[in-house]
Amino acid sequence: MITIKEIASELGMSATTVSNVIHGKTKEVSPETIERVNAYLDEVDYVPNINARNLAQNHSNIIGIVLKTEEERHTYMNILADPFVAEMLGGIERTVRKAGFFLMLYISDDLDEIIRQVATWNVDGLLLFWMMDEDAIKIRKRFKKPMAFIDTYMSEETIKKMGHRYVNIGLKDEEGAYEAVKYLIECGHKKIGFMSDSDIGVDSRRYMGYERALKEAKLSIKDEYRFVLNTTTEGIDKSLEALAKQAEKVTAIFCTSDNFAALMINACERHGLHVPEDVSIMGFDDNLNGRLFRPPLTTMHQDIEYKGVLAASTLIDIIHEKPVEKHEIILEPSLVVRESVARI
Amino acid sequence: MITIKEIASELGMSATTVSNVIHGKTKEVSPETIERVNAYLDEVDYVPNINARNLAQNHSNIIGIVLKTEEERHTYMNILADPFVAEMLGGIERTVRKAGFFLMLYISDDLDEIIRQVATWNVDGLLLFWMMDEDAIKIRKRFKKPMAFIDTYMSEETIKKMGHRYVNIGLKDEEGAYEAVKYLIECGHKKIGFMSDSDIGVDSRRYMGYERALKEAKLSIKDEYRFVLNTTTEGIDKSLEALAKQAEKVTAIFCTSDNFAALMINACERHGLHVPEDVSIMGFDDNLNGRLFRPPLTTMHQDIEYKGVLAASTLIDIIHEKPVEKHEIILEPSLVVRESVARI
DNA sequence: TTGAAAGCGCTAACAA
DNA sequence: TTGTTAGCGCTTTCAA
């Protein structure tokens, strides 16, 4: 690979001049020089060494994606194959690339490791999925550059500590779940289950919405309405089997993701319970696969790809020193009625 | 961020010594020094500047994934959300990370741009998906380091030009398709369609297998058996609709991916054609979503994640200078009978 | 067993 | 308008 210095000596000028025309700092360079340099540059197909550049400029052109996996979750399948993540990633990748940045993935269940790697690469900004409040604080303590959180619920205290170079993109989870369950109730369901794999983060908000809808309708909430999926590779099949049995006690189940809905429908069908004739199943997210599913999924739609694009483009704005107007951007989901929920 | 030099002066020794203990070049360092350095290192939580290191060592610790998109294809949805890609990526990411490398994504329909970016980052090795023969040559001409191809059919000539630091991981596509279609024939089908979105690469081999099976059974191959999907965002819905109509002329359709099978089943059902009662649909890949699909997909299974893991680990071996025994590794698919194909 | 010094390729302040 | 020089943080050769 040819270097600036070599080019300079070849052309009989200094490296500075070459560097200047490369960067378009061309106000103080004569037109002929510019021409000569440019011609030579693409004659030899010059490609800069980005490591050297980064070292000199003390940045990296890298935007990091941090996916902190939880030991207990995300193990039944690889996290990049989660349709929600994959779809968002696609939007992010495109946005980041268009803006001239590169993407690096930091996936681990060890936040300290992630923090070190981010530091080692001198990453310019971070996109963080599903961070817990305490992890958000922890990472801010050691990473001072721009960050965009996706689906993180932060306490007031955390928000104070975030400074001003961050944004948090979320969804009206509580309301979305409330609307979803209200729809189920309108369809005549009285025994309604709630399925998730956790009771933290987004799931806890969705549970609150579920609860509110049931209370408002004066419907009771029983233990047997709580469907909790064990998503570990070893446990998932057994767990699903148990949930299918549990499904007999209920006429509808609200699931916190389309994925879970798909899993649940399969489990029910295997168990001889037809959807929606015997039991109604409702999803959340309206992801790409959900849209292909049979029966077509009734679900709460959110624009996943847009969420990623918005997070990435806002992050890039912050990196470019644009002041951020709103630190908390809350998107709205909307009901999509298809065929997995029956009126009874 | 603290630097080696600062640490050295703090400890009253030279940067060399500090660097040496960091790298475990500890044969010529006194135990006390080692101890002292290590203690200080984690007292201050030293993190190396990887840009500086890369510059000095002339490598990058980066493994690049190149996904060359085709203008005509891969547009109906973002390529990272393609379940095949996503699943493979998961396996790759884990393997790469465990080996201490980092992943960078290079996605573009412009191969020259990809080549420049790979050069700019001084990437240590490349993982390439679905390269066409001519692109493989082109990239080898400008990238001399280790490469692992996935699902590329190379000509003899190309193989010669590849040198010895490469591997190509493929699948018995022709045979897989042959087996699949043979199964369809065994089920009594005589009018069998072939659905794909292209006739190049892997698809062309699968078509050959399809053809062979039909010829062997003395079944005719008609134009109307050819289902070609227009995967552009604008065209896909119309295309699907047309294909659903076309499906009436056939009793079974062999699709070159589970994805297409899912799309096709949806189109057929919307059109009033039930699967498998009215028409049988067979997939290929057995991907994660296919496994959740209803009706459960009869398909040719391949171990997607393993393919990614194998490609990544072989690539890393090559980077580590291990000699490669086999440049062409061809995996075998296997038939999975589920419920989307009927006997007639 | 340790250290001095040069160099990786690039940028940027400053001088000419 | 162009060039000199120092420096980014690290590794590595060679000398001490």
Question: Residue B188 maps to which CATH number?
Answer: 3.40.50.2300
Q: Does one domain contain both B77 and B148?
A: yes
pLDDT classification of A33: cutoffs 50, 70, 90? confident
Task: Kindly state whether residue A276 falls inside one of the protein's structural domains.
Answer: yes
What is the average pLDDT value for chain A, to the nearest integer? 94
Instruction: Give dist(CA B29, CA A29) in Å, integer.
Output: 52
Strand order in the sheet with B252-255: B226-228, B192-196, B252-255, B280-285, B298-301, B334-336
Q: Is the peptide bond preceding residue A295 cis, with omega within 30 degrees of 0?
A: yes
Assess whether pLDDT exceeds 60 at residue B75: no
Q: Given this model, what pLDDT does residue B30 score?
A: 84
pLDDT, position A76: 53
pLDDT at B234 over 90: no
Mean pLDDT in residue range B278-289: 95
Greater confidence, B169 or A25?
Answer: B169
- Cα distance between residue B209 and residue B174, in whole Å: 4
Q: Are residues B198 and B298 in the same domain?
A: yes
DSSP string, A48-74: --HHHHHHHHT---EEEEEEE--TTSS
Nearest residue in chain B measured CA to CA from A105: B103
Count of domains for chain A: 3
Across the interface, whether the CB atoms of A78 and B305 are under 8 A apart is answered yes
Residue A3 above 70 pLDDT?
yes
The pLDDT of residue A74? 52
- Contacting residues of B for A47, CB less than 8 Å apart: 116, 119-120
| Residue A274 belongs to a domain | yes
Least confident of A42-46, B64-68, B164-168: A42-46
**B250 burial via Cβ count (<10 Å: 0-12, 13-18, 19+):** buried
Residues B70 and B119 in one domain: yes
Indicate yes or no: CB of A80 within 8 angstroms of CB of B89.
yes
Are B138 and B202 within one domain?
Answer: no
B329 pLDDT tier (thresholds 50, 70, 90): very high
Q: Within a 10 A sphere around the Cβ of B104, how many other Cβ atoms?
A: 20
- Mean pLDDT across the stretch B107-123? 95
Q: What is the pLDDT of residue B70?
A: 79
Identify the pLDDT of residue A248: 96
Rounded CA separation A103/A67 (Å): 13
pLDDT class of B77 with cuts at 50, 70, 90: low
Name the residue with higher pLDDT: A90 or A233.
Answer: A90
Name which of B86, B293, B294 is nearest A81 (Cβ-Cβ).
B86
Subset of residues 13-42 in chain B with CB less than 7 angstroms from any atom in strand D: 15-16, 19-20, 22-23
Average pLDDT over residues B166-172: 98
Whether A180 and A164 share a structural domain: no
Q: Does residue B206 register a pLDDT over 80?
A: yes
Same domain, A168 and A207: no
* Residue B14 vs residue B104, higher pLDDT: B104
Contact A107 B97 (CB under 8 A): yes
Does the C-beta of A30 come within 7 A of strand C?
A: no
* Omega prior to A276 cis, within 30 of 0: yes
Whether the CB-CB separation of A130 and A111 falls below 8 Å is answered with no
Residue at token pair 């987004």: A202
- Residues 6 or more apart whose Cβ sits within 8 Å of residue A244: A264, A267, A268, A270, A271, A273
Assess if residue B343 is contained within a domain: no
Assess whether A72 and A217 both reside in one domain.
no
A79 to chain B: which residues are within 8 Å by CB?
Answer: 90
- At A72 the pLDDT is 62
pLDDT for B216: 97
Q: What's the rounded Cα separation, in Å, for the pair A101 and B103?
A: 14
pLDDT at B260 over 80: yes
Rounded Cα–Cα distance for residues B171 and B332 (Å): 6
| Chain A hits for B80, Cβ within 8 Å | 86-87, 89-90, 93
Q: What are the structure tokens assigned to A332, written together?
A: 């709205």
Specify whether the CB–CB gap between A268 and A274 falls below 8 A: yes
- pLDDT score, position A23: 87
Compute the average pLDDT of residues B104-113. Answer: 95
From the candidates B41, B142, B292, B309, which should be mutated to test the interface with A, based on the most A CB atoms within 10 A?
B292
* A312 assigned to some structural domain: yes
Amino acid letter, residue A159: I
Give CA–CA dist A36/B254, Å, rounded. Answer: 58
The pLDDT value recorded for residue B291 is 84
Reference B103, options B70, B148, B153, B66; nearest CA is: B66
Instruction: Choose the most confident range, by mean pLDDT, from A25-39, B77-91, B258-272.
Output: B258-272
Decide if pLDDT at B300 tops 80: yes
Residue A316 and residue A297 in one domain: no
pLDDT score, position B194: 98
A220 pairs with which residues across the strands? none
Best CA proximity match to A117, nearest among A100, A104, A134? A104
Which pLDDT does position A330 carry in this prediction? 98
Q: What does the pLDDT average to over A16-23?
A: 90
Nearest-CB residue to A51 (from B54, B79, B81): B54
Q: Hey, of B53, B68, B78, which one would you mutate to test binding to chain A, going by the most A CBs within 10 A of its CB?
A: B78
Whole-angstrom Cα distance, residue A291 to residue A338? 10
Whether B122 sits with its Cβ under 7 A from any strand C atom: the answer reads no
In a domain, A193, yes or no: yes
**Distance of alpha carbon A212 from alpha carbon A208, whole angstroms:** 6
SS percent in chain B: helix, strand, coil, step 5: 45, 15, 35
- Whether A228 is covered by a domain: the verdict is yes
From the C1' of D11, which residue's alpha carbon is nearest?
Answer: B56
Only one residue has tokens 């050691």, namely: A142
Chain-centroid distance, C-alpha A85: 5
Quickly give A122 CA vs D14 C1' distance in Å: 32
Same domain, B310 and B163: yes
Question: Is pTM beyond 0.85 here?
Answer: yes
Say how far apart CA B160 and CA B175 lie, in whole Å.
25
List A280's β-bridge partners, or say none. Answer: A252
Contacts of B81 (CB under 8 A, 6+ apart): A83, A86, A87, A89, A90, A288
Nearest CB to A47; choose among B52, B103, B116? B116
Could you tell me the CA-to-CA distances from A179 to A237, A332, A335, A336 in Å, in that order?
30, 11, 7, 11
What mean pLDDT comes out for the span A219-237? Answer: 91
pLDDT reported for residue A26: 72
Distance CA B263, CA B230 (A): 12
Structural Rg of chain B based on CA atoms: 25
CA–CA separation, B177 and B183 (whole Å): 10
Pair A182, A292 in one domain: yes
Stretch among A127-131, B3-7, B276-280, B287-291 having the lowest mean pLDDT: B287-291
Which residue's structure tokens are 């971070």? A126
B298/B184 same-domain check: yes
Domain of B102 in residue numbering reads as 62-172+304-332
pLDDT tens string A59-111: 999 999 999 987 666 555 689 999 999 999 999 999 999 999 999 999 999 99
Same domain, A249 and A277: yes
Residue B136 has pLDDT above 70, yes or no: yes
Within 7 Å of a protein beta carbon, the nucleotides of strand D are 1-5, 7-13
Alpha helices in A58-188 (DSSP H): 83-98, 111-120, 133-142, 156-161, 173-186
- Identify the pLDDT of residue A303: 96
Does residue B339 sit within a domain?
no
Q: Determine contact, residues A251/A94, Cβ cutoff 8 Å.
A: no
* Nearest residue of chain A to residue B117 (CA atoms): A47
Q: What is the pLDDT of residues B7-39, one digit of tens each?
A: 999 899 989 999 999 988 877 788 888 999 999
**Residue A49: CB less than 7 A from any atom in strand C:** yes
Q: Is residue A338 part of a domain?
A: no
- The reported pLDDT for the residue numbered B232 is 84
Average pLDDT estimate for A164-192: 98
